[in-house]
C-alpha cells in the first residue's frame, strides 16, 4: 500500500483516470460532513451496529473490476489504512491510502480541519 497526502491523491486521481476513489466512512459522515468530489461511498464500518462491512472487499473488487488502482479515504486516514490492508490480503495490489483523510488529524483543541486533510487543503468536496 502506498500513502499519499491529500494533494498527492488529488493529482494521482487526475492523472490516473482508471483509478477508483473510495470513501470508506459511514453513510452519515458522507452525507452530513461532506465527501470528496468524484469519490464513491463503500463504508468500511457503518451503522446501526458499527461492525466491519462484510461485503466491503466484494464491493471494492466489483468497482475496481480489472484490478484498477484503488484510492481510499476516511476521516483521518486510520480506517482507510485498515480497509486497505484487508484489500491487500484479498489480493488487490494497487492500493493507495490518503494520509490525514478528509477531515485531518485532531489539533490540540481536539478539532479537525485545522492543519491537514482533504478539506483543509482546499480540494474539491461536496455536501449532499
The pLDDT of residue 128 is above 80: no
In CATH, the architecture of 2-126 is 3-Layer(aba) Sandwich (3.40)
pLDDT of res. 23: 98
Q: What is the pLDDT of residues 65-118, one digit of tens each?
A: 878 999 999 999 999 999 999 999 999 999 999 999 999 988 888 888 888 999
8 Å CB contact between 37 and 16:
no
Instruction: Give 47's pLDDT tier (boundaries 50, 70, 90).
Output: confident
8 Å CB contact between 49 and 75:
no
pTM: 0.95
Amino acid at each position: 500500500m502506498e500513502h499519499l497526502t491529500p494533494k498527492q491523491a488529488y493529482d494521482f486521481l487526475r492523472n490516473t483516470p482508471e483509478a477508483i476513489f473510495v470513501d470508506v466512512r459511514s453513510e452519515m459522515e458522507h452525507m452530513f460532513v461532506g465527501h470528496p468530489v468524484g469519490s464513491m461511498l463503500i463504508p468500511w464500518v457503518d451503522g446501526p451496529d458499527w461492525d466491519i462491512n462484510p461485503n466491503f472487499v466484494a464491493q471494492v473488487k466489483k468497482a475496481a473490476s480489472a484490478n484498477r488502482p484503488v484510492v481510499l479515504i476516511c476521516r483521518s486516514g486510520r480506517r482507510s489504512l485498515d480497509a486497505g490492508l484487508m484489500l491487500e490480503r484479498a489480493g488487490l495490489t494497487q492500493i493507495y491510502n490518503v494520509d490525514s483523510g478528509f477531515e485531518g488529524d485532531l489539533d490540540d483543541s481536539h478539532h479537525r480541519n485545522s492543519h491537514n486533510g482533504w478539506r483543509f487543503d482546499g480540494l474539491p468536496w461536496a455536501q449532499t
